[in-house]
Amino acid sequence: MPVIESEEHKALREAVATFAKNHPGADNRLFWQDAAKLGYIGVNLPEAYGGGGAGITELSLILEEMGAAGNPLLMMIVSPAICGTVISRFGTETQKRAWLPALADGSRMMAFGITEPDAGSNSHRITTTARRDGTDWILTGRKVFVSGVDIADATLVVGRTEDARTGGLKPCLFIVPRDAPGFERRRIDMELDSAEKQFELTLDDVRLPADSLVGDEDAGLLQLFAGLNPERVMTAAFAIGMGRFALARAVEYARERTVWKAPIGSHQAIAHPLAQAHIELELARLMTQKAAHLYDAGDDVGAGEAANMAKYAAGEACVKAVDQAVHTLGGNGLTREFGLARLITAARVSRIAPVSREMILNYVSHQTLGLPKSY
């Protein structure tokens, strides 16, 4: 695994940074489409289906640079990284041809529904169920905190089906079109300044054809985690980009703001915390690169550990960077002019979603250190 980025990756970073900084307006849909035309949205999807043939390494790099330029696209975590990955790895040929080219060129988008009101971080308590009715599936349940359902053409929903051999329930993935009868959405009122809105979904006996099931009915967790590892890597990249944006604003301000005849950045009380924030963001970036490389190399087990660590490190570094940036600007850090105050809430999300820092610590203590579970 290369520790230093290749020249190609450096060039990609520079190109994305220039594109994101110079993109006019704040229309996320237009930004998405323009990014797709340049091959950025579908860079990780197979070339045979219109993608760039690269991997999560390149996709996460692109998202990080967009965030560092102040133009992050949250749905990149969901549509190409989670849904595109799952369909490209486990979908039927029909599903691949129907979805992958459209996800790559930006003409279609897919949301992802896993979280439930009562399950929290315990995916084994998911109660959304799917039962057979002839050749069809009937899907019933609820989901919460599903991003971008209003702009997505379909939602990849995690449900559970009954194992004919054991009678137990196992996770399965279904493509649910946005206009499917019985598929209702309600916007959740969030105190979060984001272009992508959050929704609660209700699935009331949603009838789906047999080909709505993605992959093997018996594959269970394998297919689910094929999407969750990229989700963690991409969330880390999102957080690092946000932290870099905040830090850059703070550094610029500290260079120019003069009090008592000297720029405030010359004082160690200002300079040292900003330097520390930079170091922590760089360390988180290295772990994110490691996780992405492991995933692209096909090491799902190694990627799972690294992706969780990357997400943890990036979330912590992002929160600290944003907090220090706001503190550096003082009152100006809370004005709309500098665009930092809105990041206070957004940065916090990187610590709790898509998995909380405590659950990551559980994962590392159990899976890596071999300590016993308390639950």
Axis crossing angle, helix 221-256 with helix 341-352, rounded to the nearest 10: 150
Q: For 19-23, 117-121, 264-268, which range has the lowest pLDDT when averaged over its residues?
A: 117-121
Based on the number of CB atoms within 10 Å of its own CB, is 237 exposed (0-12), middle (13-18) or buried (19 or more)? Answer: buried
- What's the rounded mean pLDDT across residues 119-142? 87
Say if residue 311 is exposed, middle or buried (CB neighbours under 10 Å; 0-12, 13-18, 19+): buried
> Could you name the CATH architecture of 221-368?
Up-down Bundle (1.20)
Mean local confidence (pLDDT), 169-178: 90
Looking at residue 127, the DSSP 8-state letter turns out to be: -
pLDDT greater than 90 at residue 224: no
354 pLDDT higher than 80: yes
User: What fold, for 7-109?
Assistant: Butyryl-Coa Dehydrogenase, subunit A; domain 1 (1.10.540)
Q: Is the per-residue pLDDT at 167 higher than 80?
A: no
The CATH class given to the 111-214 domain equals mainly beta
- CA gap 3, 163 in Å, rounded: 44
According to the model, what pLDDT value does residue 121 have? 62
Radius of gyration in angstroms for the set of CA atoms belonging to the chain, rounded to a whole number: 21
DSSP reduced 3-state for 372: coil
Q: Give the tens place of pLDDT for each residue, 194-213.
A: 888 999 999 999 999 999 99
Element (H, E) at 31: helix 28-37
In sequence order, the 6+-apart residues with CB closer than 8 A to the CB of 155 are 110, 111, 112, 113, 146, 149, 175, 176, 178, 183, 201
Distance CA 125, CA 158 (A): 12
Per-residue pLDDT, averaged over 168-190, amounts to 92
Cβ proximity of 81 and 231 under 8 Å: yes
- Output the pTM of the full model: 0.95
pLDDT at position 242: 98
For residue 79, give every residue at least 6 positions away whose Cβ sits within 8 Å of its Cβ, in sequence order, or none. 41, 103, 109, 110, 111, 148, 152
The three-state DSSP-derived secondary structure of 234-277 is HHHHHHHHHHHHHHHHHHHHHHHCEECCEEHHHCHHHHHHHHHH
pLDDT score at 25: 64
* Terminal-residue alpha carbon distance, the chain: 36
| pLDDT tens for each residue of 236-269 | 999 999 999 999 999 999 999 999 899 999 999 9
List the domain boundaries for the chain: 7-109, 111-214, 221-368
Structure confidence at residue 120 as a pLDDT band (50, 70, 90): low
Confidence label for 304 from pLDDT (cuts 50, 70 and 90):
very high
Predicted pLDDT at 170: 79
What is the biggest distance separating any 2 CA atoms in the chain, rounded to whole angstroms? 80
Q: Residue 1 above 60 pLDDT? A: no
Q: pLDDT band for 75, please (50, 70, 90 cuts).
A: very high
**Paired tokens of 139:** 């899907």
Residue whose tokens read 């949301």: 111
Handedness of CA 292, 311, 173, 43 (dihedral sign): negative
